[in-house]
Chains A and B, each alone.
Chain A
Amino acid sequence: MFDLDPGDELALLAETARKLAAEELRPRLREAEAARAVADPVRTAYAEVGLAGLELPAAHDGAGLGALARVIVNEELAAADAGAALALDPYGPALYGLLEIGDSAMLADFLGGLTASGARAVWLDGPEVRLAADGAGVEADVAWLPTSRADAVLALVGDELLLVREEIHVRELPGAGLRAAGACALRLESASIAARMSSRMGALRARARARLYAASLLLGVLRDACDFSRGYAMERRAFGRPIAHHQALAFLITDMQMALDGARLLVHEAAWRVDAGLPCAGAAAAAFAQCIEASRLIGPAGVQILGGHGFMADYPMEKAMRESRALGLWLGGFDAAIEDAGHELCDTPGLALELA
């Protein structure tokens, strides 16, 4: 029955992530951005609280938690620094290909290649990646990824998952946002395939989980933009009262919060569907799309509320605006999400959104 209580386990997990974010990520916000990497003590703290193996199966020394756990952790970490949240997770959405399509041996192979500090796997899914003409290699030309290195590439081509370990060419980029995670362009030219497996259902679920991964990072950035700008608006005074008490701003703040809350509920419902083994592709695509739509309002509005201060790097609102925009361009962004959600809606017979 409908119940929004996260339960003790998820509440504890959220609290753990929130504490780590507040103590380790937030104070080093600009430092990580300038270094284009998170500091080693932060990695140590992340590993110590047990977040590193959140979704890994117990057989691989992980906590074996699901999509709801991931989206809750991601929101908490990204509320402090979304770039750092990405940098701390060596697997990223690439893990979902292995969990949903691959087998235990392929997963072990993948994990074995990511043991170095700062190692990162990359997830590719979309028109920029394809099989080479002979079917034996992988071609890719990706304009931007939020990482400065790629120790492994997991590519989804059709329903087939391809693991690439070598011949990965990356070129560093400045990056519009998420700089703590780094930024690069990536190219594969008939790169060798280390392992490959295929599953239609697995491909849909992997793509859904990847979108929820990005969507939940967006939620964190947007939450911070809402909270920070609201706090500022209640302290900053103009024309004899807090600026939040001018109705134009009060309503803007209200609309920002509504957009955030609605997007979060979509993300949680889609994550619940993933964990319950229900059809989740359309729900996850819609959730990601709605987070992106919310970001178009909240990102710039966070800056707007702070006025001139919002434009300056002394406050984190300009960062939230850049990062939310960048996150919404990842994994095919809005267009790919609404394309998938729209097809599912129109291609599924019967009534839409029917209750029960």
Chain B
Amino acid sequence: MDFAIDERTRERLADAREWGRAAMRPAGLEADRLSAPLPIDHPYFAKFIERGGGRTRWTGPPGANRPEREPTSVVQTLLLLEELAYWDRGVTVADPGPGLPETNVLAMGTEEQKQRFLGPFLELDRPRWACFAMTEPGAGSDAAAITTSARKDGDSWILTGAKCFIGGASRADWILVQAVVGGEKGRGAQRAFFVEQGTPGLGGFKIEKKMGLKAYESTSFTLSDCRVPATNLLGGEERYASSAGFKTAMRTFNAGRPIIAANAVGMGRAALDEAIAFAREHDLVARERVRDRLEAMARKLRMARLVCLRAGWLADRARPNIVEASMAKALAAGVGQEATALGMELLGATGARGDHLIEKLYRDVKAMDIVEGTGQVQRVIIARELVGLPR
């Protein structure tokens, strides 16, 4: 048993910390103040690209002999994303890159699809985004309930439906859209389609107004008889002989839960540090009630971090982590909310002014208990495993 963080990860964390302090925190505060996503031409994004961000993990077509990027374990990813979320979780989502769908494309995409859709992310000429669209107005955590449809028409697919709360959709080069085929509903009927920006029928973009996490856009859009080539079906026809379509999406969710949990820990940690600084500045640490609140925040954040890392550690060993991933998500999101709420209490009336970082964190962290399956959905998932709760 070993709880140490290795030297290389420490270096990467130190780098993340410097970047977070210098660039992410100011950008996040700016977006929050202006109550708008960071614009595409914001200098933050150019700096992000300059320092090597936003590239794909794909190493190019066979024989390209491109150097592999430094491998990152899930545990390392969780630690890094905890640190980045400490500085600004909204900005981590706003960061350019192939984002959420990249893992699916790497796992299931044809070589031609990797070249077409990940190729532009090899050498960036400008900040580029891609995004994954699952959520619909009538289907959130219950991903099997989506109704966006795909109809085969000759050598094309025609997509119809509405998606909502999709991160970065209006600025994405392409959107990987989850849809059902054959007029059916449910898992086996689901497929994923690349829909490129500008495709006729893709439109109605509406950037939502949010309570927090304002640095990135959460966007609703519609697909109205949106025609895409047959080659835009992720993985090609033969991949979909069974229920692999739904499993693709679920794989994304499973990988995502511990990450959201780590984000929540990072945000809670930021609130803790701000609260301690406030208490020191105002000579409050001698008060037991203040110290007890700070201690509770620290203790639970420490626990939540370990629960996250356990889920990542299992994933790194390709061991089942359904329960542990959901526990991490349910527990850390709760702890993040509790930590920021206690931080607000500690600020007293200052917390209600609306200009303190803890107040922003209090709004931001709420989403961690919602995205990738609410805390209640996580409990349903855990209970299915623990007590065989019927579906």
Contact = CB atoms under 8 A, between A and B. Distances in A.
Does A associate with B in a complex?
A: yes
Interface of A: 1-7, 10, 68, 230, 233-234, 241-242, 244-245, 247, 250-251, 253-255, 257-258, 261-263, 265-266, 268-269, 272-273, 276, 283, 286, 289-290, 338-339, 341-343, 345-347, 351-353, 355-356
A253 B6 CA distance: 36
Given A1-B6, A346-B285, A262 B304 contact: yes
Contacts of A250: 379-380, 383, 386-387, 389
B27 interface: no
Contact of A355 (B82, B331, B380): B82
Nearest to A345: B298
Contacts of A247: 380, 383, 389
B5 A355 contact: yes
A255 B388 CA distance: 15
Interface stretch (B8-16, B150-158, B359-367): B8-16
Contacts of A5: 1
Contact of B292 (A2, A234, A342): A342
B185 interface: no
A165 B140 CA distance: 67
A230 B313 contact: no
Nearest to A269: B3
A265 B1 contact: no
Interface stretch (B120-128, B206-214, B216-224, B269-277): B269-277
A290 B303 contact: yes
B40 interface: no
Interface in B213-263: none
A273 B3 contact: yes
A343 B1 contact: no
Interface in B266-305: 269, 272-273, 276, 279-280, 285, 288, 291-292, 294-296, 298-305
Contacts of B304: 262
B164 interface: no
A351 B273 contact: yes
Contacts of A268: 1, 3
Contact of B298 (A4, A68, A254, A286): A286
Enumerate the 5 nearest inter-chain pairs by beta-carbon distance, A residue then B residue, closest first.
A342-B295, A356-B10, A244-B387, A265-B306, A250-B383
B309 interface: yes
Contacts of A257: 327, 382, 386
- Category for how many chain B residues contact A: 35 or more
B306 A245 contact: no
Given A1-B9, A272-B2, A289-B299, 9 more contacts: A2-B75, A233-B387, A234-B388, A251-B379, A269-B306, A342-B288, A345-B294, A346-B280, A353-B301
Nearest to A262: B303
B318 interface: no
Contacts of A6: 1
B389 A245 contact: yes
B307 interface: yes
B contact patch SS: helix
Nearest to B313: A4
B88 interface: no
A352 B272 contact: yes
B107 interface: no
A349 to B, nearest CB: 9
Given A1-B4, A10-B1, A353-B302, A254 B382 contact: yes
A2 B312 CA distance: 10
Contact of B1 (A68, A233, A261): A68
A352 B299 CA distance: 10
B292 to A, nearest CB: 6
A352 B273 contact: yes
B390 interface: yes
Nearest to B326: A254
A5 B9 CA distance: 20
Given A262-B307, A355-B5, A355-B79, A254 B386 contact: yes
A2 B2 contact: yes
B302 A266 contact: yes
A346 B307 contact: no
Contacts of B294: 342, 345-346
B83 interface: yes
Nearest to A72: B1
A66 to B, nearest CB: 11
Contacts of A10: 1
Interface string B1-39: 111111001100110000000000000000000000000
Nearest to B269: A353
Given A253-B383, A266-B306, A290-B303, A356 B9 contact: yes
B105 interface: no
Nearest to A6: B1
A346 B295 CA distance: 8
B11 to A, nearest CB: 8
B171 interface: no
Contacts of A342: 288, 291-292, 294-295
A265 B295 contact: no
A72 to B, nearest CB: 9
A339 B290 CA distance: 11
B234 to A, nearest CB: 33
